[in-house]
């Protein structure tokens, strides 16, 4: 289990090392990171890792995270598992289709 | 004669092995072809053409193109000309451009989505055959989807710039391709802004649909099931496969369809839906959903919008 801290809101939750940052948050019913397709395709769970290290565990659509961004610690929370205590910043958001 | 039905949809997947597990084990499709480029072609049990879904390996998720089948080559020639007369450039693709598929005409909808029309594709037949057929085959898998039914495409809309490619698409589909509108969702002062459009070229409530969004993309591709019981079973299959469900079984106000929304392993949204809904006809009065009942239009039981449904797409 690793602590995951959201830098901007000071929200914190505990995430298992075998579950993704997003899955851990969803399991606890928390809402601090936007939840979309949970499969790396839609981009709403985009985060920047400020402190700590993660393991990438699946492909992320290059529409939403470029290789350059990824090299700077930007990734989709549904595609990363924590390897240490994590501090992150939420970049993605739920942008409404006009309904 | 003219358009008959949706022929196939081509989408991008980031992990082909996971995608194939999903479309075979959850939807119930079968692989009928893999080409040299690694593209995989799949078919539902109750379809007779060789494939209705094309999965292309990519580092992205999302839409490549959608193709509609037309009655014959005369219709293909006539419709290609109607598209040109409408002011849209048409490219002719020779037979074999896609495997086992006759010649196609290719063009972009006003929203930018690539569309193709074709008249011929290799026929494998349904899994129950055409001679004294059983109602369903013994080797049905997963949700056992009958066929690919339709897709819903997100069309770029920006009221501040006066851009509404949803309405542009509607006019194009009606004028050039002879579709008719069955339902609409309107918002704004006097309901003057259309944000959703449902079009048919058959007696189904929709063969294609559009919704307005900040950029053009794919909202979902949809597979047909028979009944509410099949919807429940499909949801069980999704749970067994740990599929990410977007909207649990419910009913739409629009089309009256019984539905589940879920994501494939690349985040492309799928739908399994059941029920004929109603008989769509060209003289049936247009159904309108108003801004205050938009929740009911999509989610008839709760009348509330599910956030991911109206924000997430590829």
Asked if B16 is an interface residue toward chain A (Cβ–Cβ < 8 A), one would say: no
CATH number at residue B301: 3.10.180.10
Whether residue B291 sits in one domain with residue B154: yes
- B272-290 pLDDT per residue, tens: 999 989 999 999 999 999 9
The mean pLDDT value of chain B amounts to 97
Residues 6+ apart with CB under 8 A from B124: B32, B43, B48, B49, B50
Say if residues A70 and A59 touch (Cβ distance below 8 Å): no
> With bands split at pLDDT 50, 70 and 90, how would you rate the model's confidence at A9?
confident
Number of folded domains that form chain A = 1
| Cα A20 → chain centroid | 8
In a domain, B143, yes or no: no
Confidence of residue B63 (pLDDT cuts 50, 70, 90): very high
Same domain, B164 and B306: yes
Indicate if B90 and B153 belong to the same structural domain: no
pLDDT digits (tens, 9 = 90+) for B198-230: 999 999 999 999 999 999 999 999 999 999 999
The residues with which B157 forms a beta bridge, in sequence order, are B164
C-alpha–C-alpha distance, residues A99 and B23, integer Å? 29
- What confidence category does residue B246 fall into, taking pLDDT thresholds of 50, 70 and 90? very high
Asked whether B171 and B199 are in contact (CB, 8 A), the reply is: no
The alpha carbon dihedral of B278, B281, B285, B291 has a sign of positive
Q: What is the mean pLDDT of residues B246-261?
A: 97
Residues B153 and B217 in one domain: yes
Please check whether residues B114 and B184 belong to one and the same domain. no
**Domain with B66 in it:** 3-118
Q: How far is Cα B264 from Cα A59, in angstroms, rounded to an integer?
A: 13
Number of domains in chain B: 2
- Interface membership of B59 toward A (CB under 8 Å): yes
**Domain shared by B159 and B306, yes or no:** yes
Is residue B52 over pLDDT 80? yes
CA distance B203 to B206: 8
CB contact under 8 Å between B312 and A96, yes or no, is no
pLDDT digits (tens, 9 = 90+) for B76-90: 999 999 999 999 999
Q: Please indicate if any CB of chain B lies within 8 Å of the CB of A75.
A: no
- Domain for residue B47, yes or no? yes
Residue A57: CATH number of its domain:
3.10.20.30
Closest by CA to B154, choosing from A97, A50, A74, is A97
CA within 13 Å, CB half, A56:
15
A95 belongs to a structural domain: no
Regarding whether B176 and B81 lie in a shared domain, the answer is no
Residue B126 lies in a domain: no
Question: Percent of chain B having pLDDT more than 70?
Answer: 100
B206 noted as active-site residue: yes
- Whether residues B212 and B264 share a domain: the answer is yes
Average the pLDDT over each of A7-16, A71-80, B257-266, B291-300 and give the range with the smallest value: A7-16
- Inside any domain, residue B11: yes
Give, in degrees to the nearest 5, the angle at Cα B201 between B89 and B120.
65
Q: Same domain, yes or no, for B155 and B113?
A: no
Residue B177 CA to residue B90 CA, distance in Å, equals 13
Interface test with A, best of B11, B59, B61 (most A CBs within 10 A): B61
Residue A73 domain flag: yes
Entry pTM? 0.96
Q: pLDDT by residue (tens digit) across B159-195? A: 889 999 999 999 999 999 999 999 999 999 999 999 9
Q: Using CB atoms, pick whichever of B187, B196, B264 lies closest to residue A39.
A: B264
Average confidence score pLDDT of chain A: 93
Residue bearing tokens 């690919």: B148
**Same structural domain, B100 and B180:** no
State yes or no: pLDDT of B145 exceeds 80. yes
Query: What is the share, in percent, of chain B residues with pLDDT greater than 90?
Result: 99
pLDDT digits (tens, 9 = 90+) for B95-141: 999 999 999 999 999 999 999 999 999 999 999 999 999 999 999 99
A96 confidence band (pLDDT: 50, 70, 90):
confident
CB contacts under 8 A, A 26-45 vs B, are 34-42, 44
Q: Does residue A98 lie in a domain region?
A: no
Which of B265, B267, B307 is nearest residue A42 as measured by Cβ atoms? B267
Q: Does A97 fall in a domain? A: no
In a domain, B131, yes or no: no
- Chain B residues within an 8 Å CB radius of A62: 59-60
Q: Kindly state whether residue B137 falls inside one of the protein's structural domains.
A: no
Whether B229 is catalytic: no
Q: Do residue A99 and residue B211 have CB atoms under 8 angstroms apart?
A: yes
* Chain A contact for B15 (CB, 8 A cutoff): yes
Does B69 map to a domain?
A: yes
pLDDT band, very low/low/confident/very high, at A94 (cuts 50, 70, 90): confident
- The 3-class SS string of B257-280 reads CEEEEEECCCCCEEEEEECCCCCC
Q: How many pairs of residues across A and B have Cβ atoms under 8 Å apart? A: 99
For residue A56, the enclosing domain spans 2-90
Q: How far apart are CA B151 and CA B251, in angstroms?
A: 17
Using DSSP bridges, classify how beta strands B53-57 and B3-13 pair: parallel, antiparallel or unpaired.
parallel
Q: How far apart are CA B264 and CA B12, in angstroms?
A: 11
- Give the model's pLDDT for residue B41: 98
pLDDT mean over B32-43: 98
Q: Mutation test of the interface with chain A: which of B13, B14, B252, choosing the one with the most A Cβ atoms within 10 A?
A: B14
Pair B109, B204 in one domain = no
Q: Is residue B141 part of a domain?
A: no
Catalytic choice (B220, B258, B300, B313)? B220
Asked if the model's pLDDT at residue A99 lies above 70, the reply is no
Backbone angles phi, psi at B279, to 5 degrees: -90, 115
Contact present, B279 and A74 (Cβ < 8 Å): no
Q: Indicate the residue of B265, B267, B313 with minimum beta-carbon distance to A97.
A: B313
Residues 6+ apart with CB under 8 A from B230: B143, B144, B272, B274
Contact call for residues A98 and A16 (beta carbons, < 8 A): no
Task: Pick the last residue of a domain from B79, B103, B118.
Answer: B118
Q: Are residues B106 and B165 in the same domain?
A: no
């Amino acid at each position: 289990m690793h602590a995951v801290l959201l830098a901007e809101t000071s929200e914190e939750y505990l995430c298992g090392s075998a579950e993704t940052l997003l899955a851990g948050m969803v399991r606890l019913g928390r809402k601090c990171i936007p939840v979309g397709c949970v499969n790396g395709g839609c981009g709403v769970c985009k985060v920047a890792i400020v402190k700590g290290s993660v393991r990438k565990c699946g492909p992320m659509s290059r529409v939403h995270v470029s290789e350059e961004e990824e090299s700077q610690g930007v990734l989709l929370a549904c595609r990363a598992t924590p390897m240490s205590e994590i501090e992150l910043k939420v970049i993605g958001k739920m942008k409404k289709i006009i309904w | 004669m003219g358009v008959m039905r949706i022929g196939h949809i081509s989408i991008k997947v980031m992990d082909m092995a996971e995608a194939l597990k999903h479309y075979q084990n959850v939807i119930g499709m079968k692989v009928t072809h893999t080409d040299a480029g690694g593209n995989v072609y799949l078919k539902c049990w109750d379809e007779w053409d060789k494939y209705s879904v094309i999965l292309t390996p990519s580092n992205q998720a999302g839409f490549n193109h959608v193709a509609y089948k037309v009655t014959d080559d005369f219709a293909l020639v006539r419709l290609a000309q109607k598209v040109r007369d409408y002011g849209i450039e048409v490219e002719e693709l020779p037979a074999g451009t896609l495997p086992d598929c006759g010649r196609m005409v290719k063009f972009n909808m006003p929203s930018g989505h690539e569309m193709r029309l074709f008249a011929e594709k290799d026929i494998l037949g349904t899994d129950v055959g055409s001679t004294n057929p059983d109602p369903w085959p013994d080797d049905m898998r997963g949700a056992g989807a009958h066929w690919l039914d339709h897709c819903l495409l997100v069309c770029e809309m920006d009221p501040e710039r006066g851009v509404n490619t949803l309405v542009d698409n509607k006019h194009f589909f009606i004028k050039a391709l002879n579709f008719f509108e069955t339902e609409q969702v309107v918002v704004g002062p006097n309901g003057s802004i259309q944000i959703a459009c449902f079009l048919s070229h058959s007696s189904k409530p929709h063969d294609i649909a559009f919704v307005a969004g900040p950029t053009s993309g794919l909202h979902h591709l949809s597979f047909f099931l028979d009944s509410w019981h099949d919807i429940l079973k499909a949801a069980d299959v999704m749970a067994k496969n740990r599929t990410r469900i977007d909207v649990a079984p419910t009913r739409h106000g629009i089309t009256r369809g019984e539905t589940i929304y879920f994501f494939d392993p690349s985040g492309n949204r799928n739908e399994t839906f059941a029920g004929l809904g109603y008989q769509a006809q060209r003289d049936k009065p247009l159904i309108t959903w108003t801004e205050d009942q938009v929740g009911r239009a999509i989610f008839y039981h709760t009348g509330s919008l599910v956030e991911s449904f109206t924000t997430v797409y590829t």
